[in-house]
Amino acid sequence: MALSTGKLALYPICQSPDILSKHQQLRFMIQTFRHLPPVEQQGFIVSEVLLFIMEKPPLRVSPLIKFCRWTFLIVGIFYGASKQKFFAGREGSRREQAEKQKEMHDAELEMEKKIANEEEMAQLEKMFLQK
């Protein structure tokens, strides 16, 4: 049974142990298909770096480890939420101060522009009235 990927047909690893060992089969497939991009089709994965074949089920994780993982996850979520709340309050007060300063700065700029405009108009009057 071959799986067609367009340029290449992938064959499942031989079931008979007398032909090649699993390690030899993996090395052969990696060397043969090294130049191809990663392909995944019906559980067959050929990659430049490695070919994974899962024959054994994953190991059972200790209940203590599971409990610790979940505990740290939940504590981390609450810690992050509290820090976010703290920094949001601090940033809110900074934002209000920045808005007040911006209003004052804008008013100062407006006055400076008005004064500069009046001075420029006075200079233009002098230039045109002298001639």
| 125 and 80 assigned to the same domain | yes
The answer to whether the beta carbons of residues 81 and 89 sit under 8 Å apart is no
| 81 and 29 assigned to the same domain | no
Number of domains in the chain: 2
**pLDDT value for 129:** 85
**pLDDT value for 57:** 64
**pLDDT value for 127:** 87
Report how far Cα 57 is from the mean position of its chain's Cα atoms.
Answer: 31
Residue 123 forms part of a structural domain: yes
Q: Tokens 């522009």 map to which residue? A: 113
Whether residue 61 is predicted with pLDDT greater than 60 in this model: the reply is yes
**pLDDT value for 97:** 92
pLDDT digits (tens, 9 = 90+) for 108-126: 999 999 999 999 999 999 8
pLDDT digits (tens, 9 = 90+) for 2-51: 444 444 444 444 444 455 666 676 677 666 666 655 555 445 554 434 44
Residue 122 forms part of a structural domain: yes
| 91 and 128 assigned to the same domain | yes
Whether residue 1 is predicted with pLDDT greater than 60 in this model: the reply is no
**pLDDT value for 8:** 45
| 88 and 126 assigned to the same domain | yes
Residue 129 forms part of a structural domain: yes
Average pLDDT of span 88-112: 93
Residue 28 forms part of a structural domain: yes
3-class secondary structure per residue, 60-93: CCCHHHHHHHHHHHHHHHHHHHHHHHHHHHHHHH
pTM above threshold 0.75 = no
The domain of 113 spans 72-131
